[in-house]
Chain A
Amino acid sequence: MSYLDGLDSFDPARELLPAGETAPSPQPKSLPKRHRKIRIFKRFFNVIRRLKLKTFAVSLILAAGLAALQFAGAFRIIDERFFDVVTLGEAGTVPQVVIVERDPGFESQGPRRFARLNAMLHDLGIGKVGHLPAAGEPISPLAQKNSAAVPAPVIALPIGRVPASQQWALVGEEAGQGVAAARLLAAARYGIHRTHLAGLPGSDGMIPTFESALSGVTADDQPFLVRMPEAQNIPVVTASQILSGDLRGEELRGMVAVVAPVDALAGRLTTPLSPKSAMTSEATFRAHVLQTLLSGRATYFARDWEVMLLLFCMVCIAALSYWRSDPKRIALPLSLALTAAAVAGSWLAMQFAGKLLPLTALAVIPWLVAFFAVLIREQNQDGILEETAARAVQKSFRRSALREGARLPEFLGFAGQLAALDRSLLIARNEDGSFEPILEHGASIDELTDSKKKLKALLNKVRGRSYAYPADDLVPGWTGESFVTWLGGSDRELFWIYTMPEANPKRKSAHLVRAIAASFRELFHWRGHLNSRSRQDVRFRPIDDKISSAIELVAREAEHVRFGFDTIETAVVIFHLIGSPLHANSKMEEIYAEAGMAVSELSLPEALSALTDLDDSRINAMLEDLALNGGEMRLPMRQIGNAQRIMRVAAPKRFARGGERVIVLEAVDVSDHHRAADLRQAVALYIDLQLRNDFEAIMLGVDLAGDERVPPEKIRPIVKRIGDSARRATGRLDRVAELIHSDIGDILDACYPIDIRKTVLDAKGKVSKLANELAVNVETDMIGIGGFTVAEPKVLGQMMEAMLQVVIADTPRGETVMLKIEEEEERTHIRISGGFGMGFERLVRLLEDTEAETVGEFRTISGGIHIANKWGASVSYWGHEAQRFGFNIDLRRIG
């Protein structure tokens, strides 16, 4: 079925209406005559297309061919063999023929013996008597009868063709008182006698055959098949028995007697009964013919028009069966069923209509139609697949910079630079064998060897290979190690000759060159496949090859795109407009996983609902706007893990206008920006507070210096203090200038002046849940207001949280953990203590991560200790078994 089937019957207005409503009838329009004709033609074409015209036409031609073969007798042997098989096995009918053997006893009697035999047979109730004369025997005695009451016997006489005509005539002696009939034996069919005729055309009309004359069947020249069941009883008696009067009248009443001489009872004919029984005698064969005719079971061959009609019907049935079905799926069962139907039909026709149908042709048709239906479908499918593959490859190449062959030197030149090649020469070999330089980097085509033979030999050796060959002979003037590699190419083959760098790491360069060459080769390979329809040499490449190539190319590109996606700094997930996820990069997958979700399980609205704080109505409104108008929106994202992010929801306008609409969710991690902002805010606060002190001192000093009440000897110290304050302010500014002017990346790990109280309280807040669960009290001894302590708050906070967690976890229920901050002139101390107690050595092992049971918190503390050292801070710890343990963090205080 074509993928276009049914499209013309699809009415969107009707399909999309709510149940119970009907689409308004379209207003009748009067189309111009020409348009009406076009429409009628289109409809007609659609009907024809739906009827699978191609399949149908092929099937009809096929039917005609088979009919011709049938008429030529190609299938006759199988059809008749079918007849044999069926009839041989069937039950015999009530015997209506008896063979009377002219035994020697009978033959030794006088010339009136036939008259007595004919009379005796009549007396026994035999309906008709036929005589098969022996060779050269006089005919007239056979026809003798004693009285007029005895019917005239039928005498089988030889026949001969009337000269120069298609007619026949009885030859030899006349039948006298008997009825003359043709002693015909139809020609054996493929060596087997199974057919017979009721008559032959003669000059005065039809000449009846011996059997038709005896059976009373109308003489015609239509051949019929003789049934010869193995179980059929043909009684044989001797003429002497008849004459002796031993037989009772009832036994032979109503039968037809065939009186045969001894030689007519000798087996001479090959019939369907052979070889199971011996050769069949003429008398027996004729008896079967008579039995067939008398029982009305003669089977005739189907007439030509009947054959044609039957084959046509079978073709129609088979072809129409594939109309709405996939031939590949139903071909086997359908063909088997139709073949079985043909066999059954033939059997029925043979049994009840006396017709032998063209069974072989009928049975072959379903298989041939199936074969052609599958073949045509495959051809169509291949065409569609090839077009699809070509489109996919075209699309891939359209995105690829290499679609323009003219830019190849540019790319290869750049690639050569990447690999730091000393010299690089790209040459193309034309069809006439000449060479053309495509790219010359530190080299010239004139430097190629003058020996054409050597050049050709080496290039042919390299051709089709994926590795490079030494090319010192090719460019004898070049110093260093030279190589040549084949890049492929569709119309002109490309060869790349280069020299490896002397100074740079040779191994890495060689590896890079190999990768570059392989990449070029691959791209040319795909290009070759793409152009295969226009190239004779690859035109007949199997479609599977092309499809697999296209799939591989597209898959490879998709893989590259995926890799590219994964390297993006931000987390991205792309949704189809219908809301199903299309692709997510690894960073977004991590965010989903962190939130306990899976990308494939959430639709777009569900994802937005889970990742942001928007309610459903706002999500729907936003998506509707994006879908209709394109553009982008930014939303705050729920905190997942430690990172702070904002969500960018975008529907690129380029796609929003077309059918391929996508919506992109991008989670941008703004933690670093937040940290940088925190840092700068802290620095600004520090400067603000410290400079206020310094300016206060300067203002007081300046005021005092100008006060006349101040004795001159005190002026100098005051001025000195003003200078000290100014220098102190300058020093403070210098200290933080680096943090203010640096890039975000440089200052993210930097320490800066912070309010330690806030960081400690945050850490305490984070462990309060654990403390409550374990019924542990966390007591704090805090400063009222903090100065400026140097640290990186995130690392310090995580380290303190981990310290509190391990201490709380070790503290018995109802006990207290102490958290204390002390500020001195230049140091700030944070002290955490509690727990049941832990030996100092064990504490050391846990923090050094040498203990198998080291938990994540100890690793966090250990990492924090290392980082804290960079701030000028120090971390110490203490512990005793059953006597509590704790941590001391000593930090720099600068104001």
Chain B
Amino acid sequence: MTQGNILIVDDDEILSGLLQLTLELEGHEVDTAADGAIGLKKMREGNFDLVLLDLVMPRVDGIKFLRLRLDEGGPMPPVLIISSTSGEEVSSMPSELGVVGFVRKPVEPARLVRLIGQALAGERLDCA
């Protein structure tokens, strides 16, 4: 399985922590950001292979994060959105934002791990 450097952008600290632990057990390098603003900062500082992005967040939400990142012009790794929303917002997003898939919470950890693996391998995800 392909390992990668993953950035989790989610304001839910408990969930981020557990997700980080799960992915680290799979051998990934994982960093977390509590909202979009921190996430942007980390993106500027580091080099990530995949971004796991929540949509609803304070200060800079997921959609704004993507737009700001696009505006900054830096490299945009594949983005897997994991959100509790219905995902309507994602369907209308332009491809240059880098979104490769959308997973609605709650998701089985094994399925999430598999999807992350597919995303890192550049495969087509078997999600929406």
Contacts and interface: CB of A to CB of B under 8 A. Distances in A.
Contact of B19 (A700, A724, A786): A700
A787 B57 contact: yes
Interface residues of B, number: 33
B72 to A, nearest CB: 16
B62 A700 contact: no
B58 A893 contact: yes
Contacts of A704: 18, 21-22, 25, 109
Contact of A725 (B14, B57, B63): B14
Given A692-B84, A697-B18, A700-B22, A786 B56 contact: yes
B38 to A, nearest CB: 12
Contacts of A696: 15, 82, 84, 105-107
Residue with the greatest number of chain B CB neighbours at <10 A, chosen from A783, A893, A895 = A783
Contacts of B61: 783-787, 823
B85 interface: yes
Interface string A711-732: 0001000100100110010000
B44 interface: no
Given A696-B106, A728-B14, A785-B62, 15 more contacts: A689-B56, A692-B104, A693-B12, A695-B105, A696-B84, A698-B106, A699-B107, A699-B109, A701-B18, A704-B22, A725-B14, A784-B64, A784-B67, A787-B61, A823-B59
Nearest to A893: B58
Interface in B37-64: 55-59, 61-64
B55 A785 contact: yes
B10 to A, nearest CB: 9
Contact of A724 (B14, B104, B105): B14
B33 to A, nearest CB: 14
Interface string A857-871: 000000000000000
B73 to A, nearest CB: 19
B115 to A, nearest CB: 14
B62 A699 contact: no
A329 interface: no
A34 interface: no
Nearest to A688: B84
Could you say which of A692, A693, A696 has the most chain B C-beta atoms within 10 Å of its C-beta? A696
Contacts of A784: 55, 61-67, 89
A783 B65 CA distance: 10
A11 interface: no
A822 interface: yes
A450 interface: no
A695 B14 CA distance: 11
B75 interface: no
Contacts of A29: none
Interface of B: 11-12, 14-15, 17-19, 21-22, 25, 55-59, 61-67, 82, 84-85, 89, 104-110
Contacts of A785: 55-56, 61-63, 85, 89
A710 B22 CA distance: 9
A690 interface: yes
Given A689-B56, A787-B56, A699 B106 contact: yes
Given A689-B85, A693-B12, A823-B59, A783 B64 contact: yes
Nearest to A698: B106
Contacts of A714: 21
A826 B11 CA distance: 12
30 contacts: A688-B84, A692-B105, A693-B12, A693-B84, A693-B105, A696-B84, A696-B107, A698-B106, A699-B109, A700-B15, A700-B19, A700-B22, A700-B109, A707-B25, A710-B21, A721-B14, A721-B18, A725-B15, A728-B14, A783-B61, A784-B61, A784-B62, A784-B64, A784-B65, A785-B56, A787-B58, A823-B61, A824-B58, A825-B11, A893-B58
A823 B109 contact: no
A537 interface: no
Contacts of A695: 105-106
A725 B66 CA distance: 28
Contacts of B84: 688-690, 692-693, 696
A700 B18 contact: yes
B74 to A, nearest CB: 19
B15 to A, nearest CB: 4
A709 interface: yes
B59 to A, nearest CB: 6
